[in-house]
A = this chain, B = another copy of it.
Amino acid sequence: MKPEHATVDSAPSRMLKKPTWLISRAFARSSRLLADAFEGAGARGYHYRLLAGLDEFGPSSQASLGRRTSIDRSDVVAALNELADQGLVHRSPDPDDRRRNIITITPAGIDQLQTLEEIVLGVQERLLAPLSPTDRTRFIRLLTRVVEHDAHQ
């Protein structure tokens, strides 16, 4: 019988060094940290993204909000329903274009965004804990270049 009782088995080395693998591991860790942290505040990532979009760009239609936050139109509807039920956003018809709703963040929504922002900052801190401040800046720059190359393709 081979020693398969060990609690950890290392992955194939040809996987371990590949950026695609490392990114998927980093994403898994990042997602877990975020989901756990949001859950404590009774929220989800979509809620944070939508509130942040409303705070930064002001009252918006659902379609433009979806484009800015990269959330699908269907999921925007569902997430805004939840935010509206909690009184964090307000829906009103756009008098200038009656296909649209104008979504506005409420004072309670701004408070919640503040809370979620602190949660998100705490997650960045835990995620980058192994890196020095200088390395964090380098890491963010390199990641940004990889991601922006995607956008410009």
- A112 beta carbon closer than 8 Å to chain B: no
Q: Shortest distance in angstroms between A79's beta carbon and chain B's nearest beta carbon?
A: 15
Smallest CB-CB separation from A51: which chain B residue? B12
- A73 beta carbon closer than 8 Å to chain B: no
Chain B residues within 8 Å of A10, by CB: 68
Complex-state Cα separation, A1 to B29, whole angstroms: 42
Counting every copy of the chain, the complex holds: 2
Would you give the 0/1 interface string for A91-135, flagging 1 where the beta carbon is closer than 8 Å to chain B?
Answer: 000001100000000000000000001001001100111110001
Q: Shortest distance in angstroms between A150's beta carbon and chain B's nearest beta carbon?
A: 4
A interface: dominant SS: helix
| Residues of chain A at interface, number, CB under 8 A | 65
- What are 7 A-B residue pairs whose CB atoms fall within 8 Å in the complex? A18-B124, A23-B26, A26-B150, A130-B149, A131-B145, A131-B146, A139-B146
**Residues of A participating in the B interface, judged by any CB pair closer than 8 Å:** 1-2, 4, 8-15, 17-20, 22-27, 29-31, 33-34, 49, 52-53, 55-57, 61, 63-64, 67-70, 96-97, 117, 120, 123-124, 127-131, 135-136, 138-140, 142-151
